[in-house]
Structure 1
Amino acid sequence: MAMPISDQLNALGIQIPPVPAALAAYIPSKRSGNLVFTSGQLPLVSGKLRKMGKVGKDITLEEAKEEAKQCLLNALSALLLQISSLDQIKSVVKLGVYVASDENFTEQHLVANGASELVGQIFGEKGKHARFAIGVSSLPLNASVELEMTVEVE
């Protein structure tokens, strides 16, 4: 039997943050049948961005990978508005990662690996997912990364 997700999070030294407040006219997550979709999550910590700007210009690849991890933790928090426990997640279906990039930066897929690798550490086999990583000219609040997540739940 797999380790409960809460035990796995503790082993990794990870705490799920409070749900970041919506910044516009939307809700943080929505359930439809056995799927839960998150809205785009920024790498907010206590309501603020730690880093701002474009990856490849203002932010390094390694910093951006950390921002992608924070986006993922915020998405997990948003999922908990629809389910009582992360153990109800049967499968991480898809991650969508938007990276505010300098025009010469072409490693958006490596930024997204920050989130993808963390999903694997937390969920193991259930964390294997489809994904896209797209470079964009800007994101809300001058964030470097935004992530959306779709999961299948029990």
Structure 2
Amino acid sequence: MTINDRLAELGIELTTAPEAKGSYRPTLVVDSLVFVSGTLPLVDNAILTTGIVGADVSLEEAQRAARQCMINMFTRLATDLGDLDHIGQWVKLTGFVASTPDFTAQPSVMNAASDLVVEVFGDRGQHTRSAVGVSALPLGTPVEIEAILRLQS
């Protein structure tokens, strides 16, 4: 089964990759590694939800945003690599969660992203991860996720 078959089975449709919102490359391939810049939870070119987790964004809303970040990352990777089946292994996800000082469930927010990667890629989706609380993120988004992947040999 291809990754596109698996996405279709899960009801996930990849659309057009969002454009870069600044002076950077969304992805960069160095040898067999792919570095993916911070990805936002955009839907129709607008942030899915805005605000601070623990104040005006619930854990569940933040998890939906994290999941959307990953769908957007899949779209970006499919566009830039030509085929998601070129991915040999997800190496690391780093999630930034705009949250109040007393909110400590950043790993729970990132579980939504990690679970989706494993659900789509199986063993190739197993990865290391960091979940970091920050005071603010670009465009008021509650979640931003970056990744490192390895291409198939």
Question: In the alignment, residue 43 of structure 2 is paired with which amino acid?
Answer: V
Aligned CA-pair RMSD:
0.9
- Residue 18 of structure 1 is aligned with which of 16, 19, 33? 16
Once residues 113 and 37 of structure 1 are traced to their aligned partners in structure 2, the CA distance between those partners, rounded to angstroms, is 20
Structure 2 portions without partners, runs of 5+ = none
27-36 or 132-141: bigger deviation: 27-36
1:2-151 to 2 correspondences below 5 Å:
3-151=1-149
Q: Which runs of structure 1 show a deviation greater than 3 angstroms over 4 or more consecutive aligned residues?
A: none
Question: In the alignment, residue 93 of structure 1 is paired with which amino acid?
Answer: V
Report deviation, 1:81: 3.8
Structure 1 portions without partners, runs of 5+ = none
Give the TM-score of the pair, scaled to structure 2: 0.96
Give the TM-score of the pair, scaled to structure 1: 0.95
Identity of aligned residues (%): 43
Once residues 85 and 79 of structure 1 are traced to their aligned partners in structure 2, the CA distance between those partners, rounded to angstroms, is 8
Report deviation, 1:50: 2.0
Once residues 153 and 24 of structure 1 are traced to their aligned partners in structure 2, the CA distance between those partners, rounded to angstroms, is 26
* 1:88-135: CA deviation from partner (whole Å, max 9, x where unpaired): 111001101000001110000000001000001000111000000000
Q: How many residues align?
A: 152
108-117 or 44-53: bigger deviation: 44-53
Q: Which residue number in structure 2 is paired with residue 153 of structure 1?
A: 151
